[in-house]
Structure 1
Amino acid sequence: MYKFILFLCLSITVLYASNPLMYAVLGDKIYNNLDNIKKLTTIGDYYLYQDDINKYIVDVNKAKAIGLSLDENSSPKERKAYLKELRELSSENDYYTRLATTSLYTSMQNGNSLLFTKIINSGLINTQENKKVILDYYFAHQNDINTTGVIDLYLKEDKELKAKREASAKKLITKKMKEEQRIKRIRKDDEIQQLKLEKRLDKAVEKKKKEIRKEQKKELLKSI
């Protein structure tokens, strides 16, 4: 009874504890993906993997407990053993991730929309990398698909992207209109300045003509 309580306390501590800092790059991938792998047993034929996944869960929790117990004072042997365990668990993690991706494409080929929906929301699929094929399938089978989750996120992102594009286009049009108005004002100012210049020139020419006529009259009177 005491051992069971101790094991239970340890399991709860491991479950809610932060990930070990040692070899975190490798460990975080494993620990953060554990809940997603647990979901596999509720999807399609993955119940067949129930025993393997349960064992994997136990192994991951054990590794996490070991990782949390290690620090800079731990021996090289302990660190090496922990690293070896992480590498083995990483291979299993990758295996389940590949399995989920395979199931995604199988579900689309077979038109299994229920499996498709569960897989894309499992957290094991690279949804950005597979966004196009997921949306293509959704639009072809949208009457059979519950959009809650990834699909809703896609549609929201696309709606926001569309709104941003429209806002950007509107802003560009407004900017273009402002530029056209500015050019019109410049041209109008140029026309006004040109008219003023022409008037000044006309006045100067007229003044010059008057002076010439006046001089001509003087010369004519002298010659009489």
Structure 2
Amino acid sequence: MVKRLILLLLATFLSANPKIYSALGDVIYNNVEIIESLKKISEFKEQEAQIDEYVKSVYAAKEMGFSIEEGTQEIDKKKYLKTIRELSKINDMFFRLAQNMYKESIEQENTLLWSKLINSGLIDTQKHKDEVLEFYFEHSKDIDEEGVIQKFLDQEKKLKTKSTKKNDDLLMKKEAQEEKIKRIREKDKLKQEAIQKALEEELKKKKTQIRSNQVKGDRLKFRVSYI
């Protein structure tokens, strides 16, 4: 019994989440540490007791889920489902609260609160990437390049490098194409000159032949007239 309880506790706190109703449970279990970290933000001081109570309830629910999977008969699945549904509502409430504070931090230009919120995990920074970068560049003197900001700056640098490389590749390709066209034109020019020279040589030969025939004709006429 003791061994099973120890294994259950280890599974609860160290391993994956309960599989039962995981679509709902995974959300609250994966977010609980993020929500608990809100206590580090002074603006959430009033919610500290509520956060502690919520975290306690989440871990209790997680243990309940594992107990059901272990086959404990005393625990009702419906009760567990009702519990995680209620916890899901509280989870969403904290996310909405963080989102509202995020908007207020922008309106009030509260860079300290803004920095804490975008690194809290409760703000979809990827969705608001353009907005985040715009606010950062406007207040860069007051904001440290860390966490989400550093990640976004690294991404932008990588994209810029990639774009520069792409432009360089396009330029090299263009230059190679122009060089190829130049070689083709030079080749065509040489070919045309060779044809022209051949025609001139042929014309020269014909003229020489005509003059030769004329000379022979004149000589023949002279002989006939002499006779």
* Residues 165-204 of structure 1: pairs in structure 2 closer than 5 A: 165-204=163-202
RMSD of aligned residue pairs (Cα, Å): 2.8
Residues 115 and 143 in structure 2, CA contact (< 8 A), matched pair in contact too: yes
1:82 CA drift (Å): 3.8
Unaligned runs of 5+ in 1: none
Match of 1:59 in 2: 57
Q: Which residues of structure 2 form unaligned runs of 5+? A: 223-227
Identity of aligned residues (%): 38
Count of aligned pairs: 219
CA distance in 1, matches of 2:177, 2:142: 50
Sort the Cα spacing of 1:103 and 1:211 in 2 relative to 1 into closer, same or farther, 3 A. Answer: same
Asked whether the equivalents of residues 40 and 46 of structure 1 are also in contact (C-alpha less than 8 Å), the reply is yes
Which moves more between the two structures, 202-211 or 150-159? 202-211
CA distance in 2 between partners of 1:210 and 1:173 (Å): 55
Q: 2 CA distance for matches of 1:91 and 1:15?
A: 22
**Alignment match, 2:225:** none
Kept in 2, the 8 Å contact 1:11–1:61? The answer is no
- 3-state SS, counterpart of residue 19 of structure 1: coil
Out of 20, 23, 26, the position equivalent to 2:21 is 23
Task: Say whether the 8 Å CA contact 1:38–1:53 is kept in structure 2.
Answer: yes
For 1:61 and 1:198, the matched residues in 2 are separated by: 93
Residue 213 (structure 2) aligns with: 215
Give runs of aligned pairs for residues 150-169 of structure 1, distance below 5 A: 150-169=148-167
- Check 1:214–1:22 CA distance in 2 against 1; reply closer, same or farther (3 A cut): farther
SS at match of 1:52: helix
- After superposition, residues 74-153 of structure 1 pair within 5 angstroms as 78-153=76-151
More displaced 10-residue stretch of structure 1: 192-201 or 21-30? 21-30
- One-letter code aligned to 2:220: K
Cα shift at 1:32: 1.5
How far off is 1:221 after superposition?
3.3
CA shift, 1:114, in A, is 1.4
**1:134-168 per-position Cα deviation (integer Å, ceiling 9, x unaligned):** 22222222222222211111111111111111111
**Distance in 1 (alpha carbons) for counterparts of 2:110 and 2:120:** 16
Query: Which residue identity does 2:60 align to in structure 1?
Result: K
In structure 2, the residue corresponding to 1:122 is in which secondary structure?
A: coil
Deviation at 1:7, TM superposition (A): 8.6
TM-score, normalization: structure 2?
Answer: 0.84
Deviation at 1:188, TM superposition (A): 0.9
